[in-house]
Amino acid sequence: MPPPAAPDLTPAGRARAGDPADRPSWVDAVDNPYLHGIHAPTVHETTACELAVEGELPAELFGAYVRNGPNQVLPPKNLYHWFDGDGMIHAVQFRDGRASYRSRFVRTAGLADEARAGHAIWPGVMGPFDLAAPRHYLKDTANTDVIWHDGHLLALWYLCGEPYRLDPLTLEPRGSADFGGRRTTSISSHPKVDERTGELVWFSLGEFEPPYLVYGVVGRDGELAHEIGVELPGARASHDLTITRNFSILHDFPFFHDPAVLRSHGYRVARFHRELPSRFGVLPRRGGTDDVRWFEFEPGYVLHMVNAWEEGDWIVMDGCFQPDPSIRRNPDEGALASMLGYLRIRSHLHRWRMNLRTGEAREEALDDLNVEFPLPDTARYGEKTRWSYHQHIPAGVYTVEFHALVKYDHQDGSRVRFDYPPGWFASESPFAPRPGARDEDDGFVVTIATDAASLRSECWVFDAKQIERGPVARVKLPARVPTGFHAKWIPGERVF
Ligand SMILES: [Fe+2]
């Protein structure tokens, strides 16, 4: 699939790239916290090398930190939500103790349409939607997740969209992944790559008719190798899946919207159905529709799992569990109350166990700290992992703000943390193994952080064995990086 024509994205900036005030001029007229300060979109795409570093960059750090996130280009058509912004990829590349940075928009078809029109075409997730709008009733922004597979970065959208490919080094557009010409569905964010086999394990959600979940596997060669429809009771809002060496685990949580309301009123109104269980469907990686075995647990919701693995007859899965995902609206917040309420995440590290022989299901909380955006060493997805790296969201903050990096020991649920300096907010923080690493946490943790006061951004590198000591190196970035969503570490031999 050819990339859409590149839109002119830089007509109305207030400053040059690198200036903390780099933002579109139209944001000044919009009263919305997600268009200002650390959340404000930037106007410019940036390329810079030989960046200044405070501390010492480890010479063996070889590869790229890549992060996706929203970066709204045109004035929104209606009430703006943080999830609405056009996708932009930020990459900090490391080699021989030096660092470079570049940022590029994901050249989505929707952004090209809007750039040609000169105005926003689609409303954001706050609605109301026009179900007759072109392509989809929402714009596929590809702003949520970024992974590496088959020689490309893939930018992915949480409501299921095109898997937009980017060159892993230059971030230039490379069309969409079509899985060898066999892809017929959109793809959700958070597919998993099994580094042992090179397979990409993905899912997609149906909205108005079955199958409400489609599950598939793409081979190392980028060709679709397996695809099935999975039976669900109705439309769901699943956000993640996990893999073990032999199995995949799918989600059915009792937190979803009513498609009839969407059709009749043009809104997605998510509701927590406390009377229904959480369910996980376990199937062999290339299993059929009839192979899915469902296990029931306490009601709730999970945005992001950490990892899953096999222990004898058991599947063990750790993730960030929200026992009460109901939306905490504060009427004093006016028109933004629903958005801010939805973003008040309350989740803790949790473990689910499923016995494939007996059908037994067990679960337990491993901790009570409010954490999200967890990442293990992603090269070990499907294997038993001991360590993971999370973001702490304190009680009382009005939205998703990351205040601390938390490293968990999954053997006993213990943790260490590094509290970001006051006024600094970081991003999802992947693990970067040291070449020839001797054990699981022999390496580094990398993040991008922004100071709300100066609006300057830095890339921080931690020694993964001692994250509580703070970053060993702070790379001064030449542009402000708006708050964003998901990040990955891409090993250097794949990027350079
Ligand atoms: Fe996510």
- What pLDDT is recorded for position 344? 84
pLDDT band for position 14 (cuts 50, 70, 90)? low
Distance 285 CA to ligand 1 centre (A): 22
Q: Average pLDDT for residues 242-257, to the nearest whole number?
A: 97
- What pLDDT is recorded for position 262? 87
Distance 58 CA to ligand 1 centre (A): 29
pLDDT score of 3 more than 50: no
- What pLDDT is recorded for position 15? 63
- What pLDDT is recorded for position 17? 67
Distance 202 CA to ligand 1 centre (A): 14
Residue type, 50: E
Distance 238 CA to ligand 1 centre (A): 10
pLDDT score of 479 more than 90: yes
Distance 104 CA to ligand 1 centre (A): 20
Distance 52 CA to ligand 1 centre (A): 31
Distance 487 CA to ligand 1 centre (A): 10
Distance 467 CA to ligand 1 centre (A): 23
Token digits of residue 286:
């290339």
**Cα 474 to Cα 52: distance, rounded to the nearest angstrom:** 9
Q: Average pLDDT for residues 116-144, to the nearest whole number?
A: 92
**The dihedral sign for the CA sequence 419, 322, 440, 145:** negative
pLDDT tens track for 424-451? 999 999 999 999 999 999 999 999 999 9
Distance 16 CA to ligand 1 centre (A): 31
Distance 460 CA to ligand 1 centre (A): 22
- What pLDDT is recorded for position 468? 98
Distance 241 CA to ligand 1 centre (A): 11
- What pLDDT is recorded for position 495? 77
- What pLDDT is recorded for position 8? 43
pLDDT score of 5 more than 80: no
- What pLDDT is recorded for position 342? 76
In the chain, the percentage of residues whose pLDDT exceeds 70 is 96
pLDDT score of 359 more than 60: yes
Mean pLDDT of the chain: 93
Distance 203 CA to ligand 1 centre (A): 13
Distance 85 CA to ligand 1 centre (A): 15
Distance 158 CA to ligand 1 centre (A): 7
Are 476 and 99 spatial neighbours (Cβ–Cβ below 8 Å)? no
- What pLDDT is recorded for position 445? 98
CA of residue 413 relative to chain centroid, distance:
24
Distance 87 CA to ligand 1 centre (A): 14
pTM, 2 dp = 0.95
Distance 190 CA to ligand 1 centre (A): 7
Distance 372 CA to ligand 1 centre (A): 10
pLDDT score of 11 more than 70: no
Q: Average pLDDT for residues 89-109, to the nearest whole number?
A: 97
Q: Average pLDDT for residues 175-190, to the nearest whole number?
A: 97
- Range of lowest pLDDT (175-184, 267-276, 312-321, 484-493): 267-276
pLDDT band for position 10 (cuts 50, 70, 90)? very low
Distance 307 CA to ligand 1 centre (A): 14
pLDDT score of 328 more than 70: yes
How far CA 37 is from CA of 7, 17, 25, in Å, comes to: 25, 16, 13
- Range of lowest pLDDT (29-33, 153-157, 219-223): 29-33
pLDDT band for position 101 (cuts 50, 70, 90)? very high
In the chain, the percentage of residues whose pLDDT exceeds 90 is 83
Distance 188 CA to ligand 1 centre (A): 10
**Cα 160 to Cα 158: distance, rounded to the nearest angstrom:** 5
pLDDT score of 373 more than 60: yes
pLDDT band for position 130 (cuts 50, 70, 90)? confident
Q: Average pLDDT for residues 45-51, to the nearest whole number?
A: 95
Distance 257 CA to ligand 1 centre (A): 18
- What pLDDT is recorded for position 338? 79
Distance 296 CA to ligand 1 centre (A): 23
Distance 15 CA to ligand 1 centre (A): 31
Distance 56 CA to ligand 1 centre (A): 32
Distance 239 CA to ligand 1 centre (A): 6
pLDDT tens track for 340-355? 887 888 999 999 999 9
Are 238 and 95 spatial neighbours (Cβ–Cβ below 8 Å)? no
